[in-house]
Amino acid sequence: MPTAVVTDSTAELGLARADRLGVTVVPLQVIVGDEAFEEGAPEVTPERIAEALRQKRAVSTSRAAPAHFAELYQALADQGATSILSVHISSQVSGTFESAQAGARSSPVPVRCLDSRQIGPATGFAVESAVAALAAGGDLDDAYDAASARAATCRTLLYVDTLEYLRRGGRVSNTAALVGGALAVKPLLGVEDGLIVPVARVRTSAKAIARLRSLALESAEGPVEAFVAHLDATERAETFAASLREELGDRLVGEVRCQEIGAVLGAHVGPGMVATCIAPVLDR
């Protein structure tokens, strides 16, 4: 493997998909009470995190340490990698990218770290574009450019039942326009330049989901891939994904992926969240 690809667990690739792609996933941590667990541990499934949040237990998250990345890059080099691309969640909401950069300083092979400026599945789409570029014969720089371009064109939108969880984690410092009346509205948010920002104030969840769908469709001007994520809102998410699939029609490449979000992101958005990522296909 001349160029290895690394990402973190917030990319929502899932271990099976990451394995098929040949991507190494670094798990972030979830802290419940005073106990820390790596994402994917049975103690911090999305279902358990949703229940802990409902019970108002203390739930927080933590990045992987620089030493973890340094050890991983060394191991990949030992396995034959001659360069490494490390693609991560926005540096505006997590220190993961900073940890990756710090770990890269001691790597025996060149490492390029990419701040996706995205949150969730959009980072995963960027990773997939990097893998495709390498499979087509590209090098480290080609993979970096492909991932960067894909991340920049993705649109991430999310509906949350309440801003309480995002406020607890300090992830909505730039959404002051919504905070004052947060409990009186159903917040619709987006990701812009790596930050979570307000998109709309909607009075009911039904209207919020309808607005979410219309904004997603507006983003799909050409061939796109689509992802729907949720936390403890399976029926709502599956219904949303089905309607998105129908309305995208010929613009949709593949199926709308629909799955429950991981525990790390789930800890910040809370139960009832539904998000969508529209990812234009750039390599056709």
The Cα 30–Cα 42 span in angstroms is 12
Assigned domain for 94 exists: yes
Please provide the average confidence, as pLDDT, over all residues in the chain. 92
Q: Give residue 15's identity as a one-letter amino acid code.
A: L
Is pLDDT of 169 > 70? no
Is pLDDT of 92 > 50? yes
Q: Which pLDDT belongs to residue 130?
A: 98
Is pLDDT of 173 > 80? no
Q: Are residues 89 and 117 in the same domain?
A: yes
Assigned domain for 133 exists: yes
N-term to C-term CA, the chain? 25
Nearest to 262 by CA among 108, 40, 71: 40
Tokens linked to 279: 């990812």
Nearest to 240 by CA among 189, 274, 193: 274
The proportion of the chain whose per-residue pLDDT surpasses 70, expressed as a percent, equals: 93
The Cα 82–Cα 97 span in angstroms is 21
Assigned domain for 105 exists: yes
Q: Are residues 122 and 22 in the same domain?
A: yes
Q: Are residues 212 and 74 in the same domain?
A: no
Q: Are residues 207 and 268 in the same domain?
A: yes
Q: Which pLDDT belongs to residue 171?
A: 56
Range name among 54-68, 117-131, 173-187 with the lowest pLDDT average: 173-187
Q: Report how many domains make up the chain.
A: 2
Q: Are residues 23 and 159 in the same domain?
A: no
Q: For the domain that residue 8 is a member of, what is the CATH number?
A: 3.40.50.10170
Domain with 97, as residue range(s), is 3-28+63-153
Can you tell me the mean pLDDT for 168-190? Answer: 61
Q: Are residues 72 and 160 in the same domain?
A: no
Q: Are residues 132 and 226 in the same domain?
A: no
Q: Are residues 137 and 162 in the same domain?
A: no
Is pLDDT of 102 > 70? yes
Q: Are residues 84 and 147 in the same domain?
A: yes
Can you tell me the mean pLDDT for 83-93? Answer: 97
pTM (two decimals): 0.93
Calculate Rg over the CA atoms of the chain: 18
**What is the residue-wise DSSP string for 10-30?**
GG---HHHHHHHTEEEE--EE
Residue 114 binned pLDDT confidence (cut-offs 50, 70, 90): very high
Q: Which pLDDT belongs to residue 177?
A: 42
State which of 153, 179, 195 marks the end of a domain: 153
State which of 109, 124, 153 marks the end of a domain: 153
Can you tell me the mean pLDDT for 138-152? Answer: 97
Is pLDDT of 35 > 80? yes
